[in-house]
Structure 1
């Protein structure tokens, strides 16, 4: 099987006993603290005996020691003997590094000639020895004879399992991963008299975990999770308008342990290297109060101006507010919105003042 990657030509012959890539269901739970919980169900046909199982398309920043693997339909027949996480992904630098001291080819496209030589170094450019001559940064397309051992095209979990009977298993796989987090952002628009306001809240999910989660059930956990640190890793546009009723929220909130769990009422796709924004709350015409606060020890001669409102059901609220940034706007005489300040709020329970 041949593969071309960024001008580097290589050939690859691979043998896999089993590849598990049949998704049945994906669920993603994202925490505030650069942490995500991935849960997947896959249907895998496994032969009897000790077998090698390769699970591709896992997060690049998976914490392997957090892996939970279970057969949902035949749990007593299947167990893991060994597990390995392969994360040494193909890149130009890694490919060249594997060929230092070995022969490579460089093809001159204009002259249609191929030069063979020993790669001495790749730091600051290629250094190639051809006979007794040394070529510095020779121009042309680099050609490698084959894919070096140990490099893979995507993160892969390799499992050795023991299966009592040849059958199709419905496998549950769950694990923790770094590289993904969420935050809340709020926009508060005051009226000219600073007596009423519109509030829009968004959740922003920043995914740099090395995996795209397609059509996933999305949950967000608000609160600071206690976890063991220093684990080794393998590897607006916003239109504001006045209305009397609140928009039906997309997230359903409920308490869970000592945290708040927000579940999106539909499936969504969270792409790798993407910041996805989803509306969290949208309430209009809230009664607010402008308060002047003077704290001499803290602020000196400066007087602080605060905008306060009650987080109650009678105002279309009455829900826990996740920690996040609030930006406040107010229209001028020409009805143009002017940014007048902002602040951070902590996790705020329902029925409390904001």
Structure 2
């Protein structure tokens, strides 16, 4: 069946007057594909008793965040000739929009008495960015206590309404498949990593957190979760939002069932939840994606510095970031796509309790990729540097000396990686510690087994670099 076009308002209005109106039953058998970009694709089944010939089918139980341009309705022997979606809830802004150009009673602060109020007649000139009134020859822009409307205007909807103009081959009860896109639904992965006592492995649990802010509930839905960056066209119409019209067309509850099944879909990945899911109109639902025990991990401390060509005086403190790394490989108990989300890493104390050691965002990770989670800053390991020499040796060439001091405040040895980056063309002229060239702009000092430095000056690394633009 071809996609029906949106009817012009006058043509659709005439059809609505001629055809009998039919109301639909509630939705059943919902299929909901939730994208991690804040939208969802929905397919629902509605039972409708239709007469032969033209009829108007009214759906009042539809989302306020529905994308009116995406609606499709299909049933055997039913032709769809027009679609209208309307939602104008009763809000102060919508009420005042209908009174632009009319005279109203406005309660204002009394300029002569801060505790008093006055009643004035005023014409509402505009409500685009807040009410603007004219009072005689003056224009009033400012605060007001209240606006009194003479009556309740018509044209408001308590609920969003979808109206189909149909032409039916025969009368009888039909199952109408309603397809549409909507906003207000989103999902992300939430990961928990519990690191072992020796710090060499971690147990990983992945959960999908589906959030619904649409005020539209789904009961017993077949839910699919799509992971990936799906292209969206720029909106060419005004989307339905709470409090604004569109015309023309509970706390998180975990689901402890088995993990979701995953498959590739186009350039994305889709997860199918194993059981039917009920999404409350406002709230979140969690479902297990997968778990992996004994994933090999590596803990590392890294301090980075981006050097320039300027002359610096005094000491420069460098932060030392704490990170946890692992490889997304099958031999490491993983080897699966990891959807974007939040990762919380817990590490053990000496008495066996696991405490939160860091929380970070994870982007989409493909199978085989390396993962690096920055957890925070080291409390005990510190790095500071001092510029020991500075000389301009050419029009745009400089020779700069650095002394980098590393201290380990722990009671046990620690490993640290120093990563220094340089602009332009550069060359290390001298260094009293070995280093490796990490990339075209960076050298790394890999310091293994730094001893505790209590009562000492710590480890000092001296090097000189030539930088030329």
Q: TM-score range with shorter-chain normalisation? A: 0.7 to 0.9
How much has 1:295 moved relative to structure 2? 4.1
Q: Which residue of 2 aligns with 1:296?
A: 305
Match of 2:266 in 1: 257
Say whether residues 1:28 and 2:32 are aligned partners.
yes
Kept after mapping to 1: 8 A contact 2:107/2:118: yes
Indicate the larger mover: 20-29 or 172-181: 20-29
Shift of 1:250: 2.4
Once the two structures are overlaid, the 10-residue window that deviates more, 257-266 or 16-25, is 16-25
- SS where residue 327 of structure 2 aligns? coil
Residue in 1 aligned with 2:356? 339
CA displacement, residues 75-134 of structure 1 (integer Å, 9 cap, x when unaligned): xx322222111211245886798799x9xxxxxxxxxxxxxxx983589999799xxxxx
Root-mean-square deviation (Å): 3.7
| Contact 2:212/2:280 (8 A) holds in 1 | yes
Alignment of 1:166-205 (within 5 A): 166-205=171-210
CA contact (8 A) 1:323 1:348 kept: yes
Structure-to-structure mapping, 1:1-354, within 5 angstroms: 17-71=21-75, 74=76, 77-90=77-90, 120-121=105-106, 148-231=153-236, 232-235=238-241, 249-297=258-306, 301-354=318-371
In terms of mean alpha carbon deviation, does 330-339 or 300-309 score higher?
Answer: 300-309
SS of 1:234's equivalent in the other structure is coil
Tell whether the 8 Å contact from 2:257 to 2:287 is kept in structure 1 after alignment. no
- C-alpha change, 1:34 and 1:93, in structure 2 (3 Å) is same
Q: Which string of whole-angstrom CA distances, capped at 9 and with x for unpartnered residues, describes residues 43-90 of structure 1?
A: 21111122111012111111111111111xx2xx32222211121124
What do the CA deviations read for 1:200-251 (whole angstroms, capped 9, x no partner)? 2222222112311111011111001101123420349999xxxxxxx98421
Separation in structure 1 between the aligned mates of residue 218 and residue 331 of structure 2, nearest angstrom: 38
How many residue pairs get aligned? The number is 303
1:126–1:344 Cα change, 3 Å:
farther
Q: Which structure is larger by alpha-carbon Rg, 1 or 2?
A: 2
Change (3 A) 1:237 1:286: farther
Shift of 1:273: 1.6
SS state at 1:65 partner = helix
TM-score, structure 1 length as denominator?
Answer: 0.73
Any stretches of 5+ residues in structure 2 without a counterpart? 1-19, 110-116, 122-144, 242-250, 308-315, 372-469
Instruction: Name which of structure 1's ranges 183-192 and 89-98 shifts more when overlaid on structure 2.
Output: 89-98
Q: Which gives a bigger RCO, structure 1 or 2 (Cα 8 Å, sep 6+)?
A: 1
Calculate the TM-score normalised by the size of structure 2.
Answer: 0.57
Distance 1:89 1:21, change over 3 A: farther
User: d(CA) in 2 for partners of 1:120 and 1:189?
Assistant: 64
CA offset digits 1:120-166 (Å, max 9, x no partner): 3589999799xxxxxx98xxxx9x99x75322221110111111221
Q: Distance in 1 between matches of 2:27 and 2:176?
A: 10
Contact 1:119–1:126 (8 Å) recurs in 2: no
Report the Cα distance in structure 1 between the residues aligned to 2:317 and 2:206, rounded to whole angstroms. 33
SS of the residue 2:158 aligns to? coil
| Larger CA deviation: 61-70 vs 199-208 | 199-208
Which stretches in structure 1 are left out of the alignment for 5+ residues?
1-15, 103-117, 130-135, 240-246
Which stretch of structure 1 is more off in the superposition, 334-343 or 51-60? 334-343
Contact 1:252 1:265 in 2 (8 A): yes
- Range that drifts further, 82-91 or 57-66: 82-91
Q: Distance in 1 between matches of 2:175 and 2:275?
A: 24
State the match for 1:243 in structure 2: none
Aligned partners of 1:208 and 1:274 also within 8 Å: yes
The alpha carbon displacement at 1:275 in A equals: 2.0
